[in-house]
Copies of this chain bind each other. A is one copy, B any other.
Amino acid sequence: MKKLINAPEDVVDEALAGMAAAHADLIRVEAPNIVVRRNAPRPGKVGIISGGGSGHEPMHGGFVGMGMLDAACPGAVFTSPVPDQMLAATKAVDGGAGVLHIVKNYTGDIMNFEMAAEMARAEGIDVSAIVIADDVAVKDSLWTAGRRGVGGTVLAEKIVGAAAEAGADLATVTALCQKVQDNVRSMGMALTSCTVPQAGKPTFEIGDDEMEIGVGIHGEPGRTRMKLASADEITDMLATPILDDLPFERGDKVLAFVNGMGGTPLIELYIVYNALKKILDGRGVVIARNLVGDYITSLDMAGFSITLLRLDDEFTRLWDAPVHTPGLRWGV
């Protein structure tokens, strides 16, 4: 295992300490391992929280800040955070207007966020939750009933965060988050496995001439294991199921998100974006906004995912709104 770490059991704590030191103007890290927006809670603002296992940086802690999340709960690597973290985060950002939990669809996350929501409600905090389940690759999987929550989560956090920043109430941001979920689809692939530090060996074996199409963000199996193909072919293998699923139709405007898994260089992501643009052009789907880079990663996995969000004027306006977090910043 080749990693820039000290003890495997200290990976998350030390990375959080590094992030807190690098971005002290934006965030603070508090016990029990929660990342909180520096000026939270803000009276009258709906709090937006997400969380899940670590190993997907910058998601979620890197999206805490102005115009996005108010707090994140990072679990151990690829392990759900515990209800106590989620409750602490909920309390830390409660400004009296309620708190939305944005939950990726993994069994542990769902169960623990539900438990935390109950505990928060018992303390008088109004909590709602939306589950993101945007991965078209597989239905039911390791750790998931139904579809997995992947890249759409990043877009949901940005759009919902912008609405909350502008003063929307809990019912409004909750409905908005559901609307993102209803209009977003994703699929990923891997050239290599990731390696969990405490496991010390690759999560799955894969041949030097093989790739996994439809892989999950923890290295869960996808649709098919096959021989390597060209970037154009691979991009089509991901884009077509996404396009056909919603379906995205001629004339639709979309946000096209090409996401690196952690071990893929940017030069390759731009080659994929070029391929994706040709496919969407061919189907008359218009890329009105885009995002290219590493935003929801899988440790050191080489690979990428595509996420398409069907845009309307509301989504576009909220996407364009200023954001200032460690991982995403514009307009400020």
Binding site for B on A (CB under 8 A): 2-6, 11, 14-19, 21-22, 54-55, 57-58, 62, 191-192, 208, 211, 228, 230-232, 234, 262-275, 277, 287, 290, 292, 294, 297, 299-300, 302, 304, 329-332
Contact = CB atoms under 8 A, between A and B. Distances in A.
B11 A271 contact: yes
Q: How many copies of the chain does the oligomer comprise?
A: 2
Contacts of A19: 270, 273
Contact of A271 (B18, B265, B330, B331): B18
Contacts of A192: 2
Given A230-B6, A277-B21, A15 B267 contact: yes
Contacts of A332: 330-331
For the complex of A and B, 9 pairs with smallest distance between CB atoms: A18-B274, A18-B270, A262-B265, A4-B268, A18-B273, A57-B266, A15-B270, A2-B191, A57-B267
14 contacts: A2-B208, A2-B228, A4-B268, A4-B271, A14-B271, A18-B269, A18-B273, A18-B277, A21-B273, A21-B274, A22-B270, A55-B265, A57-B267, A265-B294
A47 to B, nearest CB: 24
A4 B331 contact: no
A255 to B, nearest CB: 12
Contacts of A273: 18-19, 21-22
A22 B192 CA distance: 26
A54 B270 CA distance: 13
A260 to B, nearest CB: 9
Nearest to A265: B262
A22 B270 CA distance: 8
Contacts of A14: 231, 270-271, 274-275
Nearest to A264: B4
Given A18-B274, A263-B302, 8 more contacts: A4-B269, A6-B271, A18-B272, A22-B290, A265-B297, A265-B299, A267-B299, A329-B329
A263 B228 CA distance: 19
